[in-house]
Structure 1
């Protein structure tokens, strides 16, 4: 029996969660109604609209990330769902029931904040025990639950330490364990990895994905980190100015952004609305052609053409900058008035170019996406 299953077996019936395989989850998602719904939700701060007419449904077991820059309304949306802010207009439903008048402590959600919000005067073990006490789990069952959860997050040797005696990654694990230990149906993550360095952030992304697979919680994560959103999510909602700009799977959102804002916020984008790049504005009124940097090939000026050269757009340019970033090289290439970005994986024996080199760029026309302005 997995550690998650053992944890559930000791909880009261009201807190138990029926284990399902990943395949079963995928089959059920299409038939299970939305667990969370925002219905035309608006939040005003004085005359300023932080969120405007937000309508969003989240399926049971889904990992949804709300992504956007500062001021986009993503955190306000999460705080309304958590019960820390009240909508000015509209409604929020959980399992089909309005929670607009339900206080945060009665919404049966686990919450992980950016600063972890651990109780500094309590040991790790007591931090995990607190939500069990609040849920009425009997003292006789709390100890075994805590020990199993500590083992699950690899902190079984740290139960008697205070939060101040832990590293940032360890504190994050305690925060996740505390949010999960009482088995709430919904998990809310507010910039959960923002305080960690890059290597630790990547490790914790893997840990969060593993916990989501194991516990199957409906999870909403708020972040401004593109890589984090792409790595963790089943679906990403990009917000801008308090409204949803686009919502889709990570792959679809990256490969088929609908607007210029989404393309630039979720990765890098080369805009091709110049005649010298093969397009005229009159060819696609109201839109701008775009291609991702990794879809552009860089080669020596007189390199042999590829077999599919007739399907490619070809331009010549001058390298202005080459940035080496471990597994990747990033080139900035001047083509007339435009500066195009090329990103390629580093490989043994690969030809490289430096500032001042004349190169040829080409890309498949089928890889071009038309974006709304």
Structure 2
């Protein structure tokens, strides 16, 4: 287990040895991490990993069994959720169905005692920022999923809170809308620089949005780092598998070669897109000492528009190859004998 290293910016949020018990079950265990001011941090993990519990503890909807949570150096132990000055976006948006869009956005300002003139000005500003200036009179049921998501974001931001919490914010959207909203959220964060904590199980979402990612498993932090670091150099088999697809190079019938010495209690791994596929009769690469080649038999070929995915049997292992579809590339079918090549420098070693 590795704890979240200090951000390069001053910490705005700190978890200090936080444990949350539900009966005899620890939803989070001795969780310590910090989030820098203006940082976009995503907590990523499967169901039951503790990621949502961590967010609910930060929001004040649950209280730690042990440990403490600090915001700007102040303990939140005695601070109720409604006094924590955070904007929250839930997966189901939680818009008031009986209120217009404008009234949905005015509500949190009313609760803070903002006068009518300032409320109207602030609502106009935030509607313009999410590109929905003409939708203030509509009811939530008259909006598309993407529009409801934008209004939910606008409501979370309308009171200008210093911290934004996102709970599976794009889970209810289809793929195209998710991709559009990822860009919108990223642009909003770049513009407003809110300290943002996002919880998701969607690896692509985490990689796209985050300055840093925390991967959780069974209530603790498995690994943390920049998206590129976690994807390119996962510390454990779990992280390698959860953050994308991974080939574990065991039972190939040949020794795995790499530029690094293999540490004890690790397994060699390579990402599918780092493996190239060719006919078994292909002469191979120039500079062969930089590459490793193995032969195998294609078991499946899956066409996915811009990509082809091959499952290739090599010895006692099934390796995945992902390559971009391009004119002139040879296409292989099940039972074809093929050669797989990869750079030795692309091999990584991860803890079992």
TM-score, L = length of structure 1: 0.90
- Picking from 235, 252, 255, the partner of 2:229 is 252
Aligned to 2:159: 182
Q: Could you tell me how far 1:136 is from its partner in structure 2?
A: 2.2
Q: Could you tell me how far 1:64 is from its partner in structure 2?
A: 0.2
Does structure 2 retain, via aligned residues, the 8 Å contact 1:278–1:313?
no
Aligned to 1:267: 244
Determine if the alignment matches structure 1 residue 340 to structure 2 residue 316: no
For 1:250 and 1:366, the matched residues in 2 are separated by 20
For 1:260 and 1:31, the matched residues in 2 are separated by 28
Q: Could you tell me how far 1:283 is from its partner in structure 2?
A: 6.0
Q: Which moved more, 1:157-166 or 1:51-60?
A: 157-166
For 2:62 and 2:21, the matched residues in 1 are separated by 11
Does structure 2 retain, via aligned residues, the 8 Å contact 1:320–1:333?
yes
For 1:352 and 1:144, the matched residues in 2 are separated by 59
SS in 2 for 1:213: helix
Determine if the alignment matches structure 1 residue 350 to structure 2 residue 313: no
Q: Could you tell me how far 1:245 is from its partner in structure 2?
A: 0.1
SS in 2 for 1:207: helix
Q: Could you tell me how far 1:32 is from its partner in structure 2?
A: 4.2
Does structure 2 retain, via aligned residues, the 8 Å contact 1:84–1:104?
yes
Does structure 1 retain, via aligned residues, the 8 Å contact 2:216–2:223?
yes
Aligned to 1:217: 194
For 1:326 and 1:275, the matched residues in 2 are separated by 30
TM-score, L = length of structure 2: 0.95
Residue-pair matches, total: 344
Q: Could you tell me how far 1:310 is from its partner in structure 2?
A: 1.6
- Picking from 65, 69, 72, the partner of 1:95 is 72
Aligned to 2:173: 196
Q: Could you tell me how far 1:273 is from its partner in structure 2?
A: 2.2
1:240-288 residue CA offsets vs partner (Å, 9 max, x unmatched): 00000000000000000000000000001100122514239x9653110
Task: Let me know the Cα RMSD of the aligned residues.
Answer: 1.5
For 1:45 and 1:146, the matched residues in 2 are separated by 40
- Picking from 101, 104, 119, the partner of 2:96 is 119
Q: Could you tell me how far 1:97 is from its partner in structure 2?
A: 0.4
Q: Where does structure 1 lack aligned partners over 5 or more consecutive residues?
A: 1-28
Determine if the alignment matches structure 1 residue 45 to structure 2 residue 44: no
For 1:206 and 1:277, the matched residues in 2 are separated by 44
Determine if the alignment matches structure 1 residue 242 to structure 2 residue 242: no
Aligned to 1:5: none
Q: Could you tell me how far 1:87 is from its partner in structure 2?
A: 0.2
Does structure 1 retain, via aligned residues, the 8 Å contact 2:269–2:350?
yes
SS in 1 for 2:223: strand
1:320-344 residue CA offsets vs partner (Å, 9 max, x unmatched): 1111111111100011211000011
Q: Could you tell me how far 1:138 is from its partner in structure 2?
A: 1.7
Provide closer, same or farther for how the CA distance between residues 159 and 110 of structure 1 changes in structure 2, counting only shifts above 3 A: same
Q: Could you tell me how far 1:102 is from its partner in structure 2?
A: 0.3
Provide closer, same or farther for how the CA distance between residues 352 and 193 of structure 1 changes in structure 2, counting only shifts above 3 A: same
Aligned to 1:279: 256
- Picking from 276, 284, 294, the partner of 1:315 is 294
Counting only pairs closer than 5 Å after superposition, residues 137-176 of structure 1 correspond to structure 2 as 137-176=114-153
Provide closer, same or farther for how the CA distance between residues 277 and 172 of structure 1 changes in structure 2, counting only shifts above 3 A: farther
For 1:307 and 1:30, the matched residues in 2 are separated by 43
Runs of 4+ in 1 over 4 A off after TM superposition: 29-32
1:81-134 residue CA offsets vs partner (Å, 9 max, x unmatched): 000000000000000000111000000000000000111111000001111112
Q: Where does structure 2 lack aligned partners over 5 or more consecutive residues?
A: 1-5
